[in-house]
Amino acid sequence: MTLIETEAALHEAHRDNHTHRDVNGGWLRPAVFGAMDGLVSNLALMTGVAGGAVSQQTLVITGLAGLAAGAFSMAAGEYTSVASQRELVEAELDVERRELRKHPVDEMEELAALYVSRGVDPGLARQVAVQLSRDPEQALEIHAREELGIDPDDLPSPLVAAVSSFGSFALGALLPVLPYLLGATTLWPAVLLALTGLFACGALVARVTARSWWYSGLRQLVLGGVAAALTYGLGALFGAAV
């Protein structure tokens, strides 16, 4: 193998191996955490009510009500939160757009100074700033990225956030109720299915963390189990008191 071929092979190996995790989580993290939230909250709700020695019908209604209330609450909260964030970002973009229109030279110098602060030679930084500032839309995008840390072309959608939160929470909250809908008459099948789901969600979270899948899964299983046990104890205590 020649020197050129060796360097090409090393470059190819570096390119294939030099990858990073998705530190933002992409769609996986909000989906998994939404399902996990639905699992823990509805499991805890149902075990708390079960601790009060209620009827099976009451327990099923409680689980379905918890699913619906939690899913709609999550959807409404996500929609409001993301819509407010998007409106704030758009307002800041309007401010930057006006500044670029009224004071183009000052904004260009500001961009050049930013590159200089990051170690770029002043002359080269100014040339880059001049070239990037020729197109107003490109200049807006660059200033938004550098000054605000946002991408104007990739703003979050409130509707997508609401729908995904609703779906993931509802899916997670359904697991503790599902055994009863399939004919179970005791709480244990619901608890076992929910804990299995918690372990699976924790293991999936390991895809966006540095932890091993079994550690993340076991950690979530223990936390969810403790929450269910505590609410069961509180339900039994309150049920006895009432």
Residue 2: predicted pLDDT: 54
- Measured CA to CA in angstroms, residue 44 lies from 2, 4, 51, 201, 213 at distances of 65, 63, 10, 17, 24
Asked, for residue 139, whether it belongs to a domain, the answer is no
> Which DSSP string do the residues of 114-131 spell out, in sequence order?
HHHHTT--HHHHHHHHHH
Residue 116: predicted pLDDT: 93
Residue 148: predicted pLDDT: 82
Asked, for residue 194, whether it belongs to a domain, the answer is yes
Asked, for residue 236, whether it belongs to a domain, the answer is yes
Asked, for residue 220, whether it belongs to a domain, the answer is yes
The pLDDT profile of the chain, 242 residues, written as one tens digit per residue, is 554 554 455 455 545 554 555 444 445 667 778 899 999 999 999 999 999 889 999 999 999 999 999 999 999 999 999 899 999 999 999 999 999 999 999 999 998 998 999 899 999 999 999 998 988 888 899 888 888 888 888 888 899 889 999 999 999 999 999 999 999 999 999 999 999 999 998 898 887 777 899 999 999 999 999 999 999 999 999 886 66
Asked, for residue 12, whether it belongs to a domain, the answer is no
Can you read off the two tokens belonging to residue 172?
A: 């997670």
Asked, for residue 193, whether it belongs to a domain, the answer is yes
Residue 113: predicted pLDDT: 92
Taking the model in full, what pTM does it have?
0.78
CA 202 – CA 215 distance, rounded (Å): 8
Domain hosting residue 233, numbered range: 28-91+158-240
Asked, for residue 118, whether it belongs to a domain, the answer is no
Q: Are 125 and 116 in contact (CB under 8 A)?
A: yes
Dihedral angle computed from the Cα positions of residues 171, 36, 81 and 98, in that order, rounded to the nearest 10 degrees: -100
Asked, for residue 6, whether it belongs to a domain, the answer is no
Residue 6: predicted pLDDT: 47
What is the 3-class SS of 49-91, one letter each residue?
HHCCCCCHHHHHHHHHHHHHHHHHHHHHHHHHHHHHHHHHHHH
Inter-axis angle of helices 213-241 and 188-205, nearest 10: 140
How many domains would you assign to the chain? 1
